[in-house]
Structure 1
Amino acid sequence: MSIFKARVKEFEDALAGPQDVIDLKELRKLAFNGVPDVQSFRALSWKLLLGYLGPRRSSWTTTLAQKRALYKQFIEELVLPPGHSSNGSDADGGGDADKADSGGVGLQDHPLSEGPESAWNTFFNDNEFLLQIDKDVRRLCPDISFFQQPTDYPCEIVVHSKGEHGRRLHERVVPAVLSSANVERKGLGMTKQINMITKRSVENYAAMEEGQEAHWEVVQRILFIYAKLNPGQGYVQGMNEIVGPIYYVMASDPDLSYRAHAEADCFFCFTALMSEIRDFFIKTLDDAEGGIKFMMARLSNMLKSKDLNIYELLKSQELHPQYYSFRWLTLLLSQEFPLPDVLRIWDSVFADEQRFDFLIKICCSMILIQREAILENDFASNVKLLQNYPPIDINVVITHAGSLA
């Protein structure tokens, strides 16, 4: 039996065996070495490792049904324009305008109302962060065509809008305003660090006709709902790079019964992951344990202990960790490697019980592997090297990281 077939058999036994309870310790061990890109192994493993599904298989059907119904409710309450129910009826007609079940908007509310309780006022204010979401998702993973392609499972209550404007989020955005949209981390104005996040060129993905949705449109809705449900954090540039790989995995699931619910499943997996890394995106928590400064300090200390020469050189060049590792850590390396490599890295990161210990080891290995070039380079060349990491076999990096104590 080949090594690959043996690994597939191990995952089959772990995930689809006769036992009702999944051995999460065994699954972590298997996933840490990479999930075979066949069947539903990765999508299912990530759902378990991120805590979206519990280890008891008999509970999955109920859990999934409840979560997916809840997500549909989020769409109806947070995405559809005020005064419209999911069946397309207008709350201003039919004599039911003042009923709570007709979209939650009474006759007292009006599109021109500026009152704090006005659903319409909230609807228009949402456009401030929707501008940035729209801009970011339109350039998601431009090296592959996946996000520009139509999904086979568009959100029916959104795409079949019967000519109504505003159900599809991108319709609310005025493209001419995009260039003036500000980017900010919560509690922080424009910073030098923001420029380090935006690495890829802007792509203008086209929206689909009525009845269809591109994958980026689905991701836009996921991020919009997340921002609405987390007003203390809102949307921060870079979250699109976190949700993208998760959605790709869920929407590529060979099991069509799962793929049909990729949007809802992705939302809850993304939410679970963000609960662990949300401190990276909140300026006021930068210095807290788990904040981004703390994580960068851990990486710097590991580099110092593993190779004092490189550490001292970068220090003498004043090439501070935030010049490169801010993006590495905040976005879980999602912008440093091609998508298939990112998925492989995340297999190990999600499987790591300490979660981000191994992420720091990978980042440290990325520097150590380039030791000779770094020692020869000047400041400008090292900045370019670390901000545009050269192509490499990702298994070399992961194996190196695994050797770090």
Structure 2
Amino acid sequence: MSIFKARVKEFEDVLAGEQDVIDLKELRKLAFNGVPDVQSFRALSWKLLLGYLSPRRSSWTSTLAQKRALYKQFIEELVLPPGHSSNGGDADGGGDADKADSGGVGLQDHPLSEGPESAWNTFFNDNEFLLQIDKDVRRLCPDISFFQQPTDYPCEIVVHSKGEHGRRLHERVVPAVLSSANVERKGLGMTKINLITKRSVENYAAMEEGQEAHWEVVQRILFIYAKLNPGQGYVQGMNEIVGPIYYVMASDPDLSYRAHAEADCFFCFTALMSEIRDFFIKTLDDAEGGIKFMMARLSNMLKSKDPNIYELLKSQELHPQYYSFRWLTLLLSQEFPLPDVLRIWDSVFADEQRFDFLIKICCSMILIQREAILENDFASNVKLLQNYPPIDINVVITHAGSLA
């Protein structure tokens, strides 16, 4: 039996065995070494490792049904315009008073109302962060065509709008404003996250009525997340976290799962963000879970593993935030091609300490470039670390695994 077939058999035994309770410890051990890109192994493994599904298989049907119904409710309440009816047409009723009583839009909530309780006022204010989301998702993974392609499972209550404007989020964005709109995370490192634009910016086209491109689905996921987390909202870079998760869910060979990729992705993304949200909140930069703390851990590991590189970068005043801010905040999603990112995330999600191994990978990325770094000046090292050269990702992961 080949090594690959043997690994597939191991995953089948853990994920598709007869036992009701999945051995998470065994799954972590297997996933840490990479999930075979066959069947639904990766999508299911990530759902388990991120805590979306419990190890008890018998609970999955009810959990998924409940979560997917909840997500549909989020769309109806947070995405559709005020006064909509979920059957695709405008809300019907006798008069304005009747509409107000039945949950539609009445005199108390006119589209021009500026009252704090006005659903329409909220609807228009949402556009401030929707502008940035729209801008970011349109350039998601431009090196592959996946996000520009139509999904086979568009959100029916959104795409069949019967001429009703505003159900599709991109319709709310005013293109003339888009070029000047920018959400800034003031403080440490935000300029590095802005380097996401180092790839070519694609102006992805929206689909016709009845269809949706994958990036439109991702836009809705991020919009709902921002609405449900007003204290955090949307911050540039979140699109790079949700992208790989959505890709995995929407590429699931099991069509019964793929049909619910949007809802499942939302809850997996929310679970992951609950662990890394401190990276995106400036006031928590110095907290134990904050980004400064993570960068300090990386620096300390580099100092202990190779004092010469550490001292050189220090003497060149090449501070960790010049490169590792983006590495850590975006879980390396910008440094490697998507297939390599998925492989890295297999190990990161399988890590019980979650981000210990991420720091080891980042440290290994520096150590592997040791000779070049020692020869380079400041400018060359910045370029090297901000645009990491192509490499077999297994070399990096194996090296990281050797670090104590």
Distance 1:178 1:302, change over 3 A: same
Secondary structure in structure 1 of the residue aligned to 2:129: helix
Distance 1:86 1:102, change over 3 A: farther
**CA contact under 8 A between 2:100 and 2:108: conserved in structure 1?**
no
Distance 1:377 1:347, change over 3 A: same
Q: Distance in 1 between matches of 2:56 and 2:96?
A: 44
Give the deviation of 1:189 after TM superposition: 11
Percent of residue pairs identical: 98
**CA contact under 8 A between 1:280 and 1:291: conserved in structure 2?**
yes
**CA contact under 8 A between 2:33 and 2:347: conserved in structure 1?**
yes
Q: 1:66-107 deviations in whole A, cap 9, x for unaligned?
A: 000000000000000000021123236445864679556444
Q: Distance in 2 between matches of 1:106 and 1:387?
A: 54
**Which residue number in structure 2 is paired with residue 6 of structure 1?**
6
**CA contact under 8 A between 2:188 and 2:321: conserved in structure 1?**
no
Greater mean deviation of Cα atoms: 94-103 or 178-187: 94-103
Give the deviation of 1:200 after TM superposition: 2.1
**Which residue number in structure 1 is paired with residue 354 of structure 2?**
355
Distance 1:304 1:98, change over 3 A: farther
Distance 1:186 1:83, change over 3 A: farther
- Kindly report which structure 2 residues correspond to 1:297-336, keeping only aligned pairs within 5 A, or say none: 297-336=296-335
**CA contact under 8 A between 1:154 and 1:212: conserved in structure 2?**
yes
**Which residue number in structure 2 is paired with residue 149 of structure 1?**
149
Distance 1:153 1:41, change over 3 A: same
Give the deviation of 1:195 after TM superposition: 3.0
Q: 1:220-265 deviations in whole A, cap 9, x for unaligned?
A: 0000000000000000000000000000000000000000000000
**CA contact under 8 A between 1:182 and 1:190: conserved in structure 2?**
no
Secondary structure in structure 1 of the residue aligned to 2:96: coil
Q: Distance in 1 between matches of 2:196 and 2:25?
A: 34
Give the deviation of 1:184 after TM superposition: 1.8
**CA contact under 8 A between 1:207 and 1:213: conserved in structure 2?**
yes
Distance 1:256 1:96, change over 3 A: farther
Q: Distance in 1 between matches of 2:175 and 2:350?
A: 40
**Which residue number in structure 2 is paired with residue 231 of structure 1?**
230
- 1:268 partnered with 2:267: yes
Q: Distance in 1 between matches of 2:103 and 2:337?
A: 43
Distance 1:303 1:100, change over 3 A: farther
Q: Distance in 2 between matches of 1:51 and 1:12?
A: 20
**CA contact under 8 A between 1:186 and 1:282: conserved in structure 2?**
no
Q: Distance in 1 between matches of 2:195 and 2:88?
A: 43
**CA contact under 8 A between 1:148 and 1:215: conserved in structure 2?**
yes
Q: Distance in 2 between matches of 1:21 and 1:373?
A: 49
Segments of 5+ residues of structure 1 without an aligned counterpart are none
**CA contact under 8 A between 1:83 and 1:102: conserved in structure 2?**
no
Q: Distance in 2 between matches of 1:168 and 1:396?
A: 43
Give the deviation of 1:170 after TM superposition: 0.2
In the comparison of the two structures, how many residue pairs are matched?
404
**CA contact under 8 A between 2:82 and 2:105: conserved in structure 1?**
yes
**CA contact under 8 A between 2:189 and 2:325: conserved in structure 1?**
no
Greater mean deviation of Cα atoms: 197-206 or 262-271: 197-206
Secondary structure in structure 1 of the residue aligned to 2:353: coil
**CA contact under 8 A between 2:100 and 2:107: conserved in structure 1?**
no
Greater mean deviation of Cα atoms: 169-178 or 360-369: 169-178
**CA contact under 8 A between 1:91 and 1:102: conserved in structure 2?**
no
**Which residue number in structure 1 is paired with residue 197 of structure 2?**
198
Secondary structure in structure 2 of the residue aligned to 1:97: helix
Distance 1:365 1:99, change over 3 A: same
Secondary structure in structure 1 of the residue aligned to 2:7: helix
**CA contact under 8 A between 1:96 and 1:102: conserved in structure 2?**
no
Please give the TM-score of this superposition, normalised by the length of structure 2.
0.97
**Which residue number in structure 2 is paired with residue 168 of structure 1?**
168
Q: Distance in 2 between matches of 1:99 and 1:303?
A: 64
Segments of 5+ residues of structure 2 without an aligned counterpart are none
Considering only aligned residues, what root-mean-square deviation do their CA atoms show, in Å?
1.7
Q: Distance in 1 between matches of 2:189 and 2:169?
A: 26
Distance 1:138 1:239, change over 3 A: same
Q: 1:249-285 deviations in whole A, cap 9, x for unaligned?
A: 0000000000000000000000000000000000000
**CA contact under 8 A between 1:187 and 1:282: conserved in structure 2?**
no
